[in-house]
Each structure stands twice: as C-alpha cells, then as structure tokens.
Structure 1
Amino acid sequence: MEFFSNGPGDPSAVPYAVETVKELLGKVPVFGICMGHQLLGQALGGKTFKMKFGHHGGNHPVRNMRNGRVEISAQNHNPAVDPATLPKGVEVTHVNLNDGTCAGLAFPSLNIMSLQHHPEASPGPHDSDFGNAYFE
C-alpha cells in the first residue's frame, strides 16, 4: 500500500508528484490524506481549485456518504478537489457540511481511497477512526 500524506501547498505546484502518483494507480492500493487527497484527485484527471478561505483547525463536520455518520474533523488546506471534474467510477465518500466541498474519494476498481481531513488528528474521541471501514 502506498500512503500519500498531508503536506503544505497546492498540488498544482508539484506536477511531478501528480505524475508519480499516476504511475502507481492500479498497481498497489493507495490512500491519501489532505494534499495526498488532492494529488490523487489530479492524478485521476480531476482538477483542484483554491477556496476563498480554506479549512483550518478543528470542528469541521464531514458527512461519511457511505454510512451517513457525521465526523468532526481537523483540517488545514486551501485547495479542494472539484468532484465534477472526476471521471466516472470515482465515488465522493465524504462531504464537508459547512460548504459542500469534497472531503473524501474512493475508486474501488483501482483500490484508491482518500480523505481531505486528518483522520489521525481525532478532534473527537474517535470521530474519524473507523479502521478498515473506508475500504469496505
């Protein structure tokens, strides 16, 4: 499994990273968080855009579209993935409830999953800790 972690900045500024991600798609399972989520979005052919204010800090409500649960998340990013630009077969798994932006993706046929928020930060007791439930 490859893991693409958070990192500062806009994925559009690192096209070489997007190309590296493209080379791995379909070869190994991939999981991304924050900037890793954005890199995956671009590697799949989607576009990212700069939000007016971004998401920073804790207490961002995110709906898990697979089970309907609301997770209270920690976030720190300015770019977001535009789901309208993603190819067919990519599922939006999480949505930010403050502004409706894409907060998670899955592409099961390629074993891809990503989250815009930081599941390891756990602003609530275990709000974003669902173990392997993301890949079920």
Structure 2
Amino acid sequence: MKTSTLRYLAQRGFDVIVVPQSISADELRAIGADALFYSNGPGDPAASDAQVELLQGALREGTPFFGICFGNQLLGRALGFGTYKLPFGHRGINQPVWDKTTGTVEITSQNHGFAVDAPVDGVLDSPAGFGRVEVSHFSLNDNVVEGLRALDIPAFSVQYHPEAAAGPHDSKHLFDRFRELVISRNGASA
C-alpha cells in the first residue's frame, strides 16, 4: 500500500493496520477493525477468489468498505459482477472521469489493465445478493466503469488513484467520504 494512502487515512483519524493478503476472516475479526480498505494491485481480479470471499464476508457483517483500483475490481466481483481485461490499459495522468454523485469531472491518475463489467446507467441489483448498486464513476474516454457505490450496504470504490496526484487533487474527498461512511455505520469517530 502506498505511503500516501496510509497518510491520507491517518490524517482522517483512522488507526491503520496493514494486513497481508493471506489474512483469514477469523484473523480479521480478531483485529476488531471498524472498516476495511483494499488498495491497488497488481493482479488479475479473476484469480483472487480468497480476497473476494473475505470481502463478501465483511460486507455481510456490515463492515464499511472503500476500495481503490484493484479494490474496485474486487468489490465488483464481491457484488457479483464480472471483470475483463482491457484491450489497452488505462495508464497515466489526466484521465477524465465523470463522478455521477457530484456531477463533476475529476482529472485522475490511472494504472490498470482490468475493469468491472457492469452497465454505467441505472441502478443494478447485486447478483451476489448485496442489494442495489450503481456505477458511481465512469471514464469519459471509453465509458469504462471507474467506480461503484452500494446503496444498501456501506461500500464504495474507485478504479483510479485518488492518492496519486502529481497535479490536481480532485479526488481526495473520497477519503473524507470513507470516514463519514465509517462514522455513520459505527456511530463513533474513525
């Protein structure tokens, strides 16, 4: 996990515990975490069944979740959507993404070769039984899914890197959004 991600979470009052990708559900419960955050990869989301199962268990328990990049792909799979390899990955800075929640265009930094397979319009039912889901962000270059928001459980994600911005910091508010989600779910400070 990037140092900047840890810093952004800590600046918002999170006591961050970094765990290995091999952590079990019982080990995660023993930590007593108030929330779960999945960072960027690399990896093929279709080859990450253990992480998807861990996330599904946490979502069933009502644990707030925020995912970035690979974390977005794993949330998509946990919710029951597929993923696919892009013909040409999204790489570099200055990638325009429409944030449907705020109605703004964010200039983002991206480095991914896979994407979530879901329609960008409308509210969808989670094929895995997690209620309603919407695509919250999409690429203005090619309509690729750039974010997901669960409407009935406390979970959201983005495909791009809000922690990596050499220039614009259009997406830092997502860390605040995660803090607010955790506070509203747990009734205490993060």
Shared fold by TM > 0.5?
A: yes
Alignment match of 1:23 (pick from 50, 57, 63)? 57
Q: Which runs of 4+ in 1 moved over 6 A?
A: none
Matched, 1:6 2:6: no
Look up the match of 1:126: 169
C-alpha displacement of 1:14: 1.6
C-alpha displacement of 1:122: 2.2
Query: CA distance change for structure 1 residues 123 and 60 in 2, over 3 Å: closer, same or farther?
Result: farther
* Structure 1: tracts of 5 or more residues without a match: none
C-alpha displacement of 1:86: 6.2
Look up the match of 1:74: 109
Please state whether the residue corresponding to 1:127 is helix, strand or coil.
coil
User: Highest relative contact order (Cα 8 Å, sep 6+), 1 or 2?
Assistant: 1
Look up the match of 2:188: none
Matches within 5 A, 1:31-42: 31-42=66-77
Higher gyration radius (CA): 2
- Relative to the length of structure 1, the TM-score reads 0.91
Look up the match of 1:94: 137
Query: 2:77 & 2:45 partners in 1: Cα distance?
Result: 8
Aligned partners of 1:45 and 1:86 also within 8 Å: no
Alpha-carbon deviations, 1:23-79, whole Å to 9, x = none? 111421000000010001001100001110110111110010112111010111111
C-alpha displacement of 1:132: 2.9
Question: Match of 1:108, as an amino acid?
Answer: L
Alignment match of 1:116 (pick from 147, 159, 171)? 159
Question: Match of 1:62, as an amino acid?
Answer: V
Q: Percent identity of the aligned residues?
A: 47
Q: What is the aligned-residue RMSD (CA, Å)? A: 1.8
Give 1 or 2: higher strand fraction: 1
Aligned partners of 2:96 and 2:141 also within 8 Å: yes
Q: How many residues align?
A: 136
Question: Match of 1:72, as an amino acid?
Answer: I
